[in-house]
Structure 1
Amino acid sequence: MAERPSKCHPLVVFGSVNIDMVARLHTLPVPGETLHAQGAHLGLGGKGANQAVAVARLGAPVTLAGRMGDDMFAGFAADALRRFGVSDSHLFRAPAQMTGLAMICTDAAGENTIVVAGGANLAMDDTDVARLAACLTPDSIVLMQCEIPLPVLLAAARRAAALGATLILDPAPVPPGGLPDEAFRLATLMTPNETETERLTGIRPHDPDSARRAAHALHSRGLRQAIVKLGAQGVFFSDDTRQDDTRQNGPRQGFVRPFRVTAIDSVAAGDCFNGGLAVALARGQDLAAATRFAAACGALATTRKGASDAAPTLAEVESLLAAQPE
C-alpha cells in the first residue's frame, strides 16, 4: 500500500478504478468470429476514477479512495490519475489481485459491447471502509457509486453519515436486487438517470412531470434530495429537506433545460455530472445552481470521446453557462 498523507481533501471519491481496453471495429463480431480492429487504445476508467478526474479537472483538490491490483495496469492507472491531478496515495494495491478491466468493442454505428472484470474493485472490504473513514470530516462531500460490493458501499455510507458528511450516491449500476431502503436514508442525494430511476421506482421518466413523480417515489423511501437525469431532455431536481423554509408544504423542485451541444459519446457524462455537482456544492451553490452547473459538465463530456479524457475544465463549463443562460 502506498504511503498515505496525513490530511485528505474535503472532496472524497470512494469507488472503482478500471482500465478501459477499447477496440474500434466497422461491425461487432458474432460468436466464433475474429475481426481486425481499425484502432485500439487503453484509457483510465471506472466510475470512481472518472468522478475523481472530473473534480480535479474543475480545479478542486480531491481524494480518491479505493483498490487496485498489484499488476502493470495499476501502474498505468496511477500514472493516468497523476496526469489528471489526482493522487493515488489512498488507493490500496492488493497483492494477488488484478486491477479492474473493461473490455469495450465499438462499431461504426456507435453500438458497443462491454465486458467488465471487476478485479480488485469487487474485493473491497471493511479495511477499505476504514481507510475511507480516516479521510472524512463533517465538511466532507463524498461521492460513491455501485461498482463495488453493496455491503461495502453501505458500510461506507454509514461511516459517512455518522460523521455528518454529505453523501452523493450515484446508483449506477443498480444492483440486481435494487437498493435497500437504508441506502436512501443514508444518502444525502442520489443522481439516477432514466434507466436507473425506472429500476429504483418503476417509473420511466421522460419529462418534468414523470420525473417529479419518480422523485416523489425516491423521497418516500427516505431520500432527502433527488436529481433525476433525463439525458438530452434535461434534469429535474427535488429537495425534500425544507430546512430553510418551514412554511413550504412540499419538496423544492425545479427543471434544468438541456444544453445545446454536439454530442458524440455519452460514456462519462454521468460521472462528469456528479463530479461537477460535488464541486458546485462544495463552493456553496444551492441545489438549483449546482444542478445546472453539473448539467453543463455532463453536456460537455458528451462532446468528446473517452471516459476520464472527456471531463471538461472549469473554463469550458463557465463558457457554456455564459453562452446559454437560463
Structure 2
Amino acid sequence: MHATRSNKTPIVVFGSVNIDLGARLHHFPVPGETLHARDAGLGLGGKGANQAVAAARLGADVRLVGRTGDDPLADYAAAALRRNGVAPDDLYRSAGDLTGLAMICTDSAGENTIVVVGGANMHVDRADIARMAALLAPGTIVLMQCEIPTDTLHAAALAVERAGARLILDPAPVPAEGLDAALFPLAELMTPNETETERLTGLRPHDPDSARRAAERLHRLGLRRAIVKLGARGVLYSDESGHGFVPPFAVAAVDSTAAGDCFNGGLAVALAAGMDLARATRFAAACGALATTRRGASDAAPTRPEIERLLASR
C-alpha cells in the first residue's frame, strides 16, 4: 500500500541510503586481532536518507529517490523511513546489489573509523533520474549529495535545471577527482563544511573572514549562493546581495555525525517556506546544532518545536 500524499509541494531528495552498523570498542584492533565490542547498534544512514528524515521531522512532505538492494537491509531501511515520515515508495530495489552499508567503529577516546560499502547507491543511474524528474515542478526544492556516481549526479542536476527546480547540493564527500565544474552554475546553493570548502577552493576556512573569502572563490566558480559551515564556530552565508554570519548555538554536543545532514534538511524546509537566505541559514544552523546533542545519524534529527525553542532562546 502506498502512503497517502499531502497537497504540499514536496521536497525531493535524490541520493544515498545506507544502513549504519556501529560498534563501540575500548581500542581499535591491530591486524589479526579479534575484539569484543562494548556495544553495537543498527540504524538508518546515508546522506540522502538522513536529509530526507531531517526534513520530514520538520513537517515537510518528502520524496526520497534512490536505490537499495533487494535484501533484508532494504526491508530495515524501508521500515525506518516509514517510522520517520518518509514513504519508501520512490526507492528502487536493485536485484543483485547489497543495500549501502557503513561500518563504524568508535574507540574509548571518541575516535572513529568508517568503512562504507556503496552497494546499490553506486548503481543509481538515468532510470532513477527519470523517476526523480517526474516529481519536479518549477520551484521544487531538490537536495543532492555526492554518495552516488559523479556522472549520474551531473545528469540529475541538469534534469533539475530543465524542470526549473532549485538544487541544494551538499558536496559531501567531494569526489577524489574533484567536483565537476559544471555543477557550480547548476546548483542554486552549496553547503560545504571546512574540509569540503578546502577541497573545492584551496582555502580552509576557520573564521568568518576566511569563510567569506572562500565563498567568494565559490562564486567565481559560478555558484550563485554559498553557505560555508564552520562546525562549532558558526556558519557564513553569501549571495549576490552580500554575506552574513550565524554564530554557533550553545548546545551540549555529544556526536556531530548528523549535523551536516540535519542542517541541509532544515535549510530545504526553510527555503521552501519562503525564508530569505539569512533566516533560512539560522534555522538550518539550529537544526544542525540540535542534531549534535544526540547520537546516531537519522535518529538525531530534531523536531520543529525543538528548533523553535532553540531559536527563541537567542
TM-score normalised according to structure 1 size: 0.94
- In the other structure, the counterpart of 1:182 is 182
Cα distance per residue 1:225-276 (max 9 Å; x no partner)? 0000001110000012xxxxxxxxxx41000000000111000100000000
Residue 127 of structure 1 aligns to which amino acid in structure 2?
A: A
- In the other structure, the counterpart of 1:126 is 126
- In the other structure, the counterpart of 1:280 is 270
> Where do 4+ consecutive residues of structure 1 move more than 2 Å?
2-10
Structure 2 matches for 1:5-24, cutoff 5 A? 9-24=9-24
Residue 30 of structure 2 aligns to which amino acid in structure 1?
A: V
Residue 309 of structure 2 aligns to which amino acid in structure 1?
A: S
- In the other structure, the counterpart of 2:305 is 315
Cα distance per residue 1:261-304 (max 9 Å; x no partner)? 01110001000000000000011100000000000000000000
Distance 1:52 1:77, change over 3 A: same
Task: Give 1:8 shift.
Answer: 8.9
Cα distance per residue 1:58-115 (max 9 Å; x no partner)? 1111000000000000000000000001000000011111100001101111101100
In 1, the alpha carbon distance for the partners of 2:290 and 2:144 equals 22
Q: Percent identity?
A: 69
Instruction: Indicate if the aligned counterparts of 1:197 and 1:214 stay in contact, CA closer than 8 A.
Output: yes
Residue 276 of structure 1 aligns to which amino acid in structure 2?
A: G
Structure 2 matches for 1:234-273, cutoff 5 A? 234-240=234-240, 251-273=241-263
Instruction: Indicate if the aligned counterparts of 1:9 and 1:63 stay in contact, CA closer than 8 A.
Output: no
Residue 180 of structure 1 aligns to which amino acid in structure 2?
A: D
In 1, the alpha carbon distance for the partners of 2:103 and 2:9 equals 32
Structure 2 matches for 1:43-82, cutoff 5 A? 43-82=43-82
- Structure 2: gaps (5+ residues): none
Residue 283 (structure 2) aligned to one of 273, 282, 293:
293
Structure 2 matches for 1:95-244, cutoff 5 A? 95-240=95-240
Instruction: Indicate if the aligned counterparts of 2:10 and 2:60 stay in contact, CA closer than 8 A.
Output: no
In 2, the alpha carbon distance for the partners of 1:177 and 1:318 equals 40
Cα distance per residue 1:186-226 (max 9 Å; x no partner)? 00000000000000000000011100110000000100000
Instruction: Indicate if the aligned counterparts of 1:10 and 1:137 stay in contact, CA closer than 8 A.
Output: no
Task: Give 1:139 shift.
Answer: 2.4
Residue 98 of structure 2 aligns to which amino acid in structure 1?
A: M
Task: Give 1:28 shift.
Answer: 1.3
- In the other structure, the counterpart of 1:244 is none
Query: Number of aligned pairs?
Result: 313
In 2, the alpha carbon distance for the partners of 1:32 and 1:309 equals 33
What RMSD over aligned residues (CA atoms) do the two structures have, in Å? 1.4
Residue 13 of structure 1 aligns to which amino acid in structure 2?
A: V
- Structure 1: gaps (5+ residues): 241-250
TM-score normalised according to structure 2 size: 0.97
- 2:296 aligned with 1:306: yes
Residue 48 of structure 1 aligns to which amino acid in structure 2?
A: G
Distance 1:230 1:47, change over 3 A: same
